[in-house]
Structure formats: C-alpha cells, structure tokens
C-alpha cells in the first residue's frame, strides 16, 4: 500500500499525519513504519532533536532509520542557535509543502506539544521586537532571573504561571512583548491564532500505561550510557555555550556531563536522567490528554506488534491505497 496524492494540488486540503506521544513511547518507530506504508517523509517535532551534537541524549532516530526513509529537521541547527516555535513552524510548513509537491505524505513526529499546536492552530500574532528592547530584556533576565520572573508574575500572573522560573528564553520573550506593545503578554497572546490553510491534520497519539512507560524510560537512560552519553555530553559541554541556550536544557546533558567529570557516578547520572525524563513525560501526558478527543489513541507502548493497528488507522482515514 502507498499514499497517493495528485501533485498538481487539485485537492482542496492536503493531509498531514501527526504522530505524538510522551518521551520513550515509540513515536519514532511508529513514524518510520507509517512512512514505509505510505511513502512518507518524517518531519521532526522535538525541540531538542533539532540541534546537532546530541543524537544519543536526545534519542534521535538511528542513522540507519534516518537513512531508511526521508527524515527532515533532525539536527538541522547548530547548538548555539535558538529554535523558536515560529522558526520551527516555518521550516515544518516548507517541508510539508515539499512532501506534497513530490507526492509524499508528511508525517510530523515528536512530543513538543507547543510545536504541534503551533502547526495545527497557528501562533498568536506576535509583534516585531526592536533590537534595543530585545537586548535589554535578555540582559535583565540574565542579571537576575528570579527578579524578572517576579516582575512578570506581579503584572501578568496568567503568563508567569506558564513559564518556569528558570526558563530564560520564554521569560525574556514575555518581557519583550510587554515592553514593545505596552500590553501584558496574556492580552497579546489571547488574540485569535492564524492557522495554516489548505491542510487537514490526522492525529495518532501513543498513550502507554504510565508504569510501562516509566520502566521504558529507566531502561533507555541506561542504554544511553552504554551508547556513549557520557562522552557525548563531555564533548558538547566543552563548547562553552551560554547556559541559557535551549540546547543546554536537553534532559540528560547536565547529568551525564557531571558523570563525565566524576562529580557523580554513572549510576547516579542514569537515575537522575530517568527521573527528569519521567517528570517530562508527566507534563506531556497532561498536554496530550487535552487533545485526545480529536485524535486516534493507541493505548500502548509502540512496538512492531502494533503495526497492523497503524495500517488499519491509515486505511480508515484514506492515507493508503492499493
């Protein structure tokens, strides 16, 4: 079976398959198998896998898997760059357009909910930030992150509640919007979103039983160590990058980096990485539950035994044909 699409663009709305789920749920394998069934292109929607230099720690698809079928937006940015949701959306839409033009099915794969929401619903209209305001906001956050968060909390509790106190990038962005528009960020961000046109999104969400997923997360953290996570973390940290950069927040980077310097044991790094991954998965579960009504749910940890279910779903929504 293979996906078919008239490359002339005659169809009024072109399909996009989204495969989402918490970390370690088997999204990458599910996307690879779906791509094989549909002549698809896998497009990354993981905010850490966009960066070069951390294939083990960010659990990127293996080189063999990436070579088996087209994979886009994996390791496409240098670690000293910032991938905003807008930047990712622009790149993803370009890849989707290219896939459709060449008769391929675009398959969005990842667990970064904000990226997926940006793609399907659009971003709220955002103002252009003057360079002087941007520089001042970033300097303010860098000088005293706690004070900057407290300032935002006093002015805009709704926005501050959505921003972790140590999330320098989002904190500075909120202050930039505030200073540029004179409006608190929640007033700006509550304006209507502008969704992409001409696309129809089909969502497949992997929702394993919680304990099963946590056990998989624990095993994967140990496997990362066996694959060379300590050496990868040490080499990455030797670059001396700014601590505020998004790539520096990859789960496991600090933990395996500390083990590489003998500050903690390898076992300690594995346990700390697994714990941070479980916390992240918990947040992902919360986001995914809010989107389950409009999605097909696979209540399992994905493995090859569930390939027929994937094929059945693709058939049901008309993405395969004899």
Q: Are residues 104 and 183 in the same domain?
A: no
Q: Are residues 172 and 306 in the same domain?
A: no
Taking only the tens place, the pLDDT of each residue in 22-46 is: 999 999 999 999 999 999 999 999 9
Q: Which residues of the chain have pLDDT under 70?
A: 1-11, 321-322
**Residue pointed to by tokens 């994905």:** 302
Residue-level pLDDT at 27: 96
Are residues 126 and 86 in contact, defined by beta-carbon separation less than 8 angstroms?
yes
Q: Give the C-alpha separation, 278 to 272, whole Å.
A: 10
Sign (positive or negative) of CA dihedral 175, 180, 186, 191: negative
Residue-level pLDDT at 3: 53
Is residue 45 in some structural domain?
yes
Residue-level pLDDT at 129: 87
Q: Are residues 180 and 203 in the same domain?
A: no
H helices of 102-167, in order, are 113-121, 131-143, 145-155, 157-161
Is residue 1 in some structural domain?
no
State the DSSP code for 292.
G
Q: Are residues 84 and 183 in the same domain?
A: no
Residue-level pLDDT at 162: 85
Residue-level pLDDT at 1: 45
Q: Are residues 204 and 147 in the same domain?
A: no
Read off the pTM. Answer: 0.84
Last residue of a domain, one of 166, 189, 212: 189
């Amino acid at each position: 079976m293979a996906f078919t699409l008239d490359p002339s663009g005659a169809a009024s709305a072109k399909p996009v398959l989204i495969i989402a789920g918490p970390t370690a749920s088997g999204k990458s394998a599910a996307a690879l198998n779906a791509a094989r069934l549909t002549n698809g292109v896998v497009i990354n929607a993981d905010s850490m896998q966009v960066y070069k230099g951390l294939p083990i720690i960010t659990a990127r698809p293996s080189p063999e898997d990436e070579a088996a079928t087209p994979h886009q937006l994996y390791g496409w940015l240098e670690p000293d760059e910032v991938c905003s949701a807008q930047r990712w959306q622009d790149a993803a839409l370009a890849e989707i357009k290219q896939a459709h033009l060449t008769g391929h099915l675009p398959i969005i794969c990842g667990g970064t909910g904000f990226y997926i929401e940006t793609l399907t619903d659009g971003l709220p209209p955002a103002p252009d930030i003057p360079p002087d305001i941007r520089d001042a906001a970033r300097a303010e956050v860098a000088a005293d992150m706690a004070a900057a968060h407290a300032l935002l909390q006093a002015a805009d509790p709704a926005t501050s509640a959505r921003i972790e106190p140590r999330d320098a990038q989002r904190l500075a962005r909120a202050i930039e919007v505030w200073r540029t528009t004179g409006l608190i960020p929640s007033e700006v961000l509550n304006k209507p979103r502008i969704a992409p046109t001409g696309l129809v999104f089909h969502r497949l969400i992997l929702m394993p039983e919680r304990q099963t997923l946590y056990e998989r997360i624990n095993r994967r953290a140990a496997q990362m160590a066996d694959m060379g996570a300590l050496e990868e973390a040490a080499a990455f940290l030797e670059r001396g990058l700014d601590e505020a950069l998004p790539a520096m927040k990859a789960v496991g980077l600090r933990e395996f980096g500390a083990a590489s310097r003998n500050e903690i044991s390898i076992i300690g790094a594995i346990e700390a990485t697994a714990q941070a991954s479980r916390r992240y998965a918990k947040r992902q579960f919360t986001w995914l539950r809010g989107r389950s009504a409009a999605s097909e749910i696979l209540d399992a940890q994905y493995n090859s035994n569930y390939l027929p279910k994937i094929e059945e779903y693709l058939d049901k929504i008309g993405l395969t044909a004899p």
